[in-house]
A and B are shown apart, each in its own frame.
Chain A
Amino acid sequence: MPTPLVVSDVAKSFTMHLRDGIKLPVVAGVSFSIKAGECTVLGGPSGAGKSSILKMLYGNYAVDEGQIIVKHEGGLVDLAQASPRTVLAIRRQTIGYVSQFLRTVPRVSALDVVAEPLVERGEERETARDKARSLLARLNLPEKLWMLPPATFSGGEQQRVNIARGFITEHPILLLDEPTASLDATNRDVVIGLIAAKKAAGVALLGIFHDHDVREAVADRIIDVTVFAPGKLAA
């Protein structure tokens, strides 16, 4: 099975310059790969660095050391060293991301928030909106909300907008940061179905799921992040 993403020896720490420059190591020696058609889950307790790893893979956090090799437009790119422009292209074409929280933009409707990634990839706006409609319907978001900006939505409603936005495209790699955190059982099942469909389509998924049932339902493999704890490396 193809391996579109390989992480080797990645380390990350935060230097808090405002607090006398203390250094907070987050993870070190992170090495793993994910496979197409599989859902890999990052496991471990809160604070172990799961989210940080995901954010590094999306270019949202800088990488101190190591490589993140991504198969992008027929070549291999080290995302850890890539220029901002390359990272943007990778986000547009190769790596999708469902974050924990939706960052809303004033005056943009839920429908357009969802359709946007497709439009950025060159899809006709109306075609993209059609696809957005069917996804929002599948996620049971009341139709009367579609044309409203999601800023005033409840946590669960925002989360579903966020999921639809992440799942609408056909990125070969999809990162999921607790996509089911604030969903009810019905919608959790919808998300599980969406993930299964992505797997069947050959997408490589990497996610964080605190919900035990969801994790059981989707995970092909669990990577325990605690082995990447910075202290371990010294041992």
Chain B
Amino acid sequence: MTDEPLLRVAALSKFYGSRVGCDNVSFDLWPGEVLAVVGESGSGKTTLLNCLSTRLLPSSGTASYRMRDGQFRELYRMSEAERRFLMRTDWGFVHQNPADGLRMTVSAGANVGERLMAVGDRHYGKIRATAVDWLSRVEIEQDRIDDEPRAFSGGMRQRLQIARNLVTGPRLVFMDEPTGGLDVSVQARLLDLLRGLVTDLGLAAIVVTHDLAVARLLSQRMMVMKDGRVVESGLTDRVLDDPRAPYTQLLVSSILQV
């Protein structure tokens, strides 16, 4: 582990006219660290995620990312070409709805291989071997490699989306409600898989979720957002076991016990 963060976020704000998307958010993210951003719909967590992943430009504030050469670059001053290159090599983005992150009409193998081809891989055999390897890592049967994701279940699609994102060995992955819309049993499997991959690959991740159990299982750190502002942050187990802010207490006390 290095002594420098991977991502530095300072006073990030996004306004939609007079409406607040997210307001004055600051944090550092270190390599290998998983940060959960929790809050209800409209709390600004998705706006924050979209700003950080440069899918949206913030109204003010900065975010600097430590590139592979060790230099920090300010995300919002990069050219679009650089940002897009970053997004398909050193970053991943896992959408809540796999259809948003997959090409539904090309095969699973090509979905995984696309990023490799995008960075100049031109050996079919090697691309396919890598795709096979990644499908097995996300527990998709090898004989499904030539099937289109349209023929996959929701859980399989989500796992395919993860493989597609991780194939280039990114250092930072953004996840937007990665288990939303999945059955509970499917969720558990996916979470376990994600947890293993994040640990094995030493990924840093920012996971947006409204599900505190997901945050507990995946993240070491947590930010609670309400009305665009961070109302509480800290170690995940500290925030969940000793919530301090009124809103966090409400969230934690609203969990259904099984």
Contacts and interface: CB of A to CB of B under 8 A. Distances in A.
Does B associate with A?
A: yes
Interface residues of A, number: 19
Interface string B219-258: 0110000000000001101100110111001100100000
15 contacts: A14-B242, A18-B250, A18-B253, A21-B246, A62-B242, A62-B244, A84-B221, A84-B238, A85-B33, A85-B221, A87-B238, A105-B192, A106-B188, A106-B191, A107-B189
B33 A59 contact: no
A84 B234 contact: yes
B217 interface: yes
B237 A60 contact: yes
Contact of B192 (A55, A84, A87, A108): A108
Given A17-B249, A62-B234, A84 B189 contact: no
A71 B45 CA distance: 37
A59 B235 contact: yes
- List 8 tightest A-B contacts by C-beta distance, closest first: A17-B246, A106-B188, A61-B242, A107-B192, A84-B235, A84-B221, A17-B249, A62-B242
Contacts of B191: 106
B197 to A, nearest CB: 13
Contacts of A55: 241-242
Contacts of B126: none
A16 B248 CA distance: 11
Contacts of A17: 245-246, 249-250
Nearest to B240: A60
A106 B190 CA distance: 10
B30 interface: yes
B241 A15 contact: no
Interface of A: 14-18, 21, 55, 59-62, 84-85, 87-88, 105-108
A88 B237 CA distance: 11
Given A60-B241, A62-B238, A87-B235, A105 B249 contact: no
Contacts of B238: 59-62, 84, 87
A105 B253 contact: no
Contacts of A59: 235, 238
B137 interface: no
Interface in B184-218: 188-189, 191-192, 195, 217
A106 B192 contact: yes
Contacts of B188: 106-107
B246 A18 contact: yes
A191 to B, nearest CB: 24
Contacts of B237: 60
Given A59-B235, A84-B235, A88-B235, A15 B33 contact: no
B186 to A, nearest CB: 11
Interface in B68-85: none
A85 B34 CA distance: 11
A88 B220 contact: yes
Contacts of B30: 85
Contact of A60 (B189, B221, B242): B242
Nearest to A61: B242
Given A60-B242, A62-B238, A85-B221, 14 more contacts: A17-B246, A18-B250, A21-B246, A59-B238, A60-B237, A60-B238, A62-B234, A85-B33, A87-B238, A88-B220, A106-B188, A107-B188, A107-B189, A107-B192
A102 to B, nearest CB: 14
Nearest to A18: B249
Contacts of B250: 17-18
Contacts of A61: 238, 241-242
A60 B239 CA distance: 8
A84 B195 contact: no
Nearest to A108: B192
A115 to B, nearest CB: 12
A96 to B, nearest CB: 15
Interface string B15-35: 000000000000000100100
A105 B192 CA distance: 8
B63 to A, nearest CB: 18
Interface in B142-190: 188-189
A62 B243 CA distance: 9
Contact of A105 (B33, B217, B244): B217
Contacts of A18: 246, 249-250, 253
B119 to A, nearest CB: 31
